[in-house]
Amino acid sequence: MSSNQSTTQEPNLQKVMEKIEAKIEKKVETLFLDKNPIYEIKTDPKIGDTLVDIMEQGATEFKEKTGRPMTYSEMRQMFG
């Protein structure tokens, strides 16, 4: 199977990525809004772990929907 065939058989990749990205953004927004005042975020040692967990959830959902792990480029596009 050529790479063109595999690409056309994947679910609409852009839509999948956009939906996951929107969910992730909402979770991060909620995380930051739940921390008040804002300066506590910078001193909270668990914030990094929480952000990594959110990204891992997105990667897991991506794999479930596409049947493969995301590429580095896709990861950068969705998570920055």
Q: Is the separation of the CB atoms in 38 and 32 below 8 Å?
A: yes
Q: Is the model more confident about 53 or about 30?
A: 53
Residue 55: how many other CB atoms lie within 10 Å: 17
Helix-then-strand count for the chain, H and E: 5, 0
Tell me what the pLDDT averaged over the chain comes to: 79
Domain count, the chain: 1
| pLDDT tops 60 at residue 34 | yes
Question: 80 pLDDT band (50/70/90 cuts)?
Answer: confident
From the list 57, 61, 39, the residue with the least C-alpha distance to 49 is: 57
* 9 or 31, higher pLDDT: 31
**Could you tell me the residue range of the domain that residue 23 belongs to?**
3-79
- Residue 78: predicted pLDDT: 87
pTM: 0.70
Within a 10 A sphere around the Cβ of 49, how many other Cβ atoms?
Answer: 10
More confident of the two residues 11 and 25: 25
